[in-house]
Amino acid sequence: MLRLGTCFAVRAARDKRAAFAALAPPDTPLAVTAYRPDMSGYASVILVAASLLAGAAHSAEGTAMRHKPSRDAQLLFVDGPAAAEEAALRDWLRTHTGVARQLRLPVRLATADSGQRESKVGSIAIGVGDAALGISLADRVRAACGDAADCLLWLEGYWSGTQFDVRKVGPLVVEPLPRVGVQADQRSGKAVNAKVGAALQPDTGEVIYLDGLAAWPAGIAGQRVNLSGILVTRKLVPDAAVGTGGAISAGASGPQTVMESPRWSIVE
């Protein structure tokens, strides 16, 4: 059963210093309407404080509470094409439409006073949504751009095919246009050399093969490493085959777990 606590709306003036002054405790869920440059005069904000009443699920310490992931969590990203390469970028965005991975994009954003309305990655116009941000994108752009008509910022979020739903606003981008990125998978375990190449053996007992690496560099095998890249499931190890005379060659049935674009570091 859900009990709604405080529900109120705030109309904030252009002055960002007065926009979000001590309105709610730190853990209060926050929803902000999508921002467009021509609507930046006001930010419509709904703050809803909700508490869960005692129910069926209890831990030994009391009622289990769920918390949203911190916005400060540092993600790792695997490089895609350069933002200036329009054809390659369009293909890459199409490939990552609707996927459950965050993308990292250098987005050119206009200030409200510039009269511009488009946001762009390279030469490609995109829609931008800020509903998941605690402070509107309008205020963040205004603070970053200063008196400039627009500026280039790193944004992290999810791509729907037409709109980029922002989860985090990063620093200014240093031109020329860098590469875009897709959120990496991360695993830790023991570095081992298998017959088909370098692999990682996590504590779960599974085996993750490193794409394109025949063996670990000298001194790495046997150590614990942190591995990042893109996890895929595909056929890497050939099936076992029965030769003449009944001899069976080494192999494995079914697909394997492979880390593409692998990067690693030794666990200290």
pLDDT in tens, 93-102: 999 999 999 9
* Parallel, antiparallel or unpaired: strands 150-159 and 103-110: antiparallel
Hey, where are the domains in the chain?
2-52, 77-183, 185-266
Q: What are phi and psi of 145, to 5 degrees?
A: -80, -25
The yes-or-no verdict on residue 57 having pLDDT over 90 is: no
Cα atoms in the 13 Å half-sphere on the side-chain side of 150: 15
d(CA 137, CA 110): 11
Question: What whole-number distance in Å separates Cα of residue 166 and Cα of residue 169?
Answer: 7
Beta partners for 168?
Answer: 156
Give the span between the Cα atoms of 191 and 258, in whole angstroms: 14
What's the pLDDT at 260?
A: 95
| pLDDT given for residue 113 in this prediction | 65
* Residue 176 confidence class, pLDDT cut points 50, 70, 90: confident
pLDDT of amino acid 220: 96
Q: What is the pLDDT of residues 233-265, one digit of tens each?
A: 998 877 777 767 666 666 677 898 999 999 999
